[in-house]
């Protein structure tokens, strides 16, 4: 015989509590945040910065029922990839966002997003960390995986992409071959834009020659080229068999992105140019790319990510699961959102847990058969390692 769900079974509270038991049980009692600096296995270079450790803000929300939920905001080398730094993220969480949420029910996720929107403008990475923590805590309170609260999983594993970004062709070849041998990754994104285009493309050619024939290679320019650069070097990108080019031009140059997208035989992906719903609509309407990279740190939360995905899908734009070197906490949050989408045509590059010397979870993500797998268990399905958080937390 099936056992009915009751207020007591969901929250451990007595049966005679009011009908809004879940809201009362999941009221936010406290929010705690830490700045972490977690070392990476090798340097990770972009067009405008290079890092040897990854900066995070970890967030823990504690509910009245004693449940704890975890979230994470990620940056790359300070306010260079976007305007947020770990210092600003923590300050805005502690000063503006947490006070707006304390005492409110964590289970009312859309209402919480509205409270955060009123508390401060943009600050999408900070908002996404808290949104993730509320999602994790609500899932744990109900005993269900986070994806159930977002509509339920349509897939439980994702084709996984590894980023090559040291700038050393020989090192990148060895690294890529090692990923293939381990069965973790057999698709690769190579970072361009931090050298002149010819040097970058020579590096890409060495990689393409050394890898098995037909290996999927994506080129990420990170806004490092001009429209003229792209036109000049497009034939070589095509000759090298590149399957996708990510954000080759500066984020604000949507008209130019539309022009190169119209003339390119290789699909163009929008990334830094699309944070908001308005930007998604504008980029898709202009034809600034035929693929869109989704990231929680850009969109401000799981529901907003799904809204941006809906705009893209309505425009016929394909979807790619982007990352910002998140640990298993942030990566798991992405996977739960990605799992509910009707399609994720390009898979995901959530390789962050594998580039860290030590992942920040005791039971992190599973990589097998060149796929990353959706965590099981309530909430995000991963458990932060408190000892590692303490070890890598910035000491004031």
**Domain identity same for 99 and 244:** no
Task: Kindly report the backbone phi and psi dihedral angles of residue 29, in degrees, each rounded to the nearest multiple of 5, phi listed first.
Answer: -90, -40
Q: Is 170 helix (H, G, I), strand (E, B) or coil?
A: helix
Give the separation between CA 81 and CA 246, rounded to whole angstroms: 14
Residue 237 lies in a domain: yes
Q: Measuring CA to CA, which residue among 282, 308, 284 is closest to residue 294?
A: 308
Q: Is the dihedral of CA 160, 164, 165, 166 positive or negative?
A: positive
Give the separation between CA 161 and CA 371, rounded to whole angstroms: 9
- Specify the DSSP class assigned to residue 221: -
**Domain identity same for 135 and 167:** no
From 72, 172, 326, 349, the catalytic residue: 349
What pLDDT is attached to residue 48?
Answer: 53
Question: What are 139-149's pLDDT values in tens digits?
Answer: 999 999 999 99
Query: Which residue has better confidence, 43 or 354?
Result: 354
**Would you say residue 346 has pLDDT above 80?**
yes
The count of structural domains within the chain is: 2
**Would you say residue 104 has pLDDT above 70?**
yes
Average pLDDT over residues 172-176: 94
Residue 254 lies in a domain: yes
Give the separation between CA 24 and CA 150, rounded to whole angstroms: 21
What pLDDT is attached to residue 11?
Answer: 46
For this structure, is 306 an active site residue? no
What pLDDT is attached to residue 43?
Answer: 65
CB burial of 114-127 (b: ≥16 within 10 Å; e: otherwise) equals eebbebeeebbbbb
- Specify the DSSP class assigned to residue 19: T
**Would you say residue 49 has pLDDT above 70?**
no
**Domain identity same for 77 and 203:** no
Average pLDDT over residues 43-56: 66
> pTM for this structure?
0.92
Helix, strand, coil fractions of the chain, as percent rounded to 5: 40, 20, 35
Residue 24 lies in a domain: yes
* Triad 295, 290, 222: Cα angle to 5°: 50
For this structure, is 189 an active site residue? no
Residue 54: band (very low, low, confident or very high) from pLDDT cuts 50, 70, 90: confident
CATH label of the domain that carries residue 78 = 3.30.390.10
Average pLDDT over residues 129-150: 98
Q: Which of 114, 144, 174 is the last residue of a domain?
A: 144
Which pair of structure tokens corresponds to residue 259? 């022009």
**Domain identity same for 138 and 227:** no
Average pLDDT over residues 9-20: 47
**Domain identity same for 110 and 175:** no
Average pLDDT over residues 183-192: 96
Segments forming the whole domain that contains residue 65: 7-144
Give the separation between CA 367 and CA 356, rounded to whole angstroms: 14
From 45, 90, 127, 191, the catalytic residue: 191
| Mean pLDDT score of the chain | 92
Question: What are 258-273's pLDDT values in tens digits?
Answer: 999 999 999 999 999 9
Residue 2 lies in a domain: no
């Amino acid at each position: 015989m099936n056992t009915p769900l009751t207020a007591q079974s969901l929250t451990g509270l007595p049966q005679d509590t009011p009908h809004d038991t879940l809201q009362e049980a999941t009221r936010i009692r406290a929010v705690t945040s830490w700045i972490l600096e977690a070392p990476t296995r090798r340097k990770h270079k972009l067009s405008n910065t290079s890092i040897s450790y990854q900066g995070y803000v970890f967030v823990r929300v504690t509910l009245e029922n004693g449940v704890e939920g975890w979230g994470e905001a990620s940056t790359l080398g300070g306010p260079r990839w976007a305007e947020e730094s770990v210092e600003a993220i923590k300050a805005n969480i502690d000063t503006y966002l947490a006070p707006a949420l304390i005492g409110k029910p964590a289970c009312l996720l859309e209402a919480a997003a509205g409270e955060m929107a009123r508390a401060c403008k943009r600050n999408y990475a900070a908002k996404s960390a808290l949104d993730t923590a509320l999602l994790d805590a609500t899932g744990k309170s109900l005993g269900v995986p986070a994806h159930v609260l977002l509509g339920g999983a349509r897939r439980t594993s994702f084709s996984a992409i590894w980023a090559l970004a040291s700038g050393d062709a020989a090192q990148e070849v060895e690294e890529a071959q090692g990923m293939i041998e381990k069965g973790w990754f057999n698709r690769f994104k190579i970072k361009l834009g931090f050298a002149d285009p010819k040097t970058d493309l020579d590096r890409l050619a060495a990689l393409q020659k050394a890898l098995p024939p037909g290996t999927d290679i994506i080129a990420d320019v990170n806004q490092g080229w001009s429209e003229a650069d792209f036109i000049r070097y497009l034939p070589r990108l095509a000759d090298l068999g590149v399957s996708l080019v990510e954000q080759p031009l500066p984020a604000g140059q949507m008209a130019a992105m539309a022009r190169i997208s119209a003339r390119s035989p290789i699909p163009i992906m929008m990334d830094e140019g699309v944070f908001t719903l308005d930007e998604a609509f504008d980029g898709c309407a202009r034809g600034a790319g035929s693929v869109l990279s989704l990231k929680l740190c850009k969109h401000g939360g799981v529901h907003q990510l799904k809204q941006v995905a809906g705009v893209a899908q309505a425009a016929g734009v394909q979807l790619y699961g982007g990352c910002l070197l998140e640990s298993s906490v942030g990566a798991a949050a992405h996977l739960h959102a990605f799992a509910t989408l009707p399609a994720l045509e390009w898979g995901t590059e959530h390789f962050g847990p594998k580039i860290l010397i030590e992942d920040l979870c005791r039971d992190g993500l599973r990589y097998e058969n060149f796929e990353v797998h959706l965590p099981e268990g309530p909430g995000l399905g991963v458990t932060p390692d408190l000892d590692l958080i303490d070890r890598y937390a910035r000491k004031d």
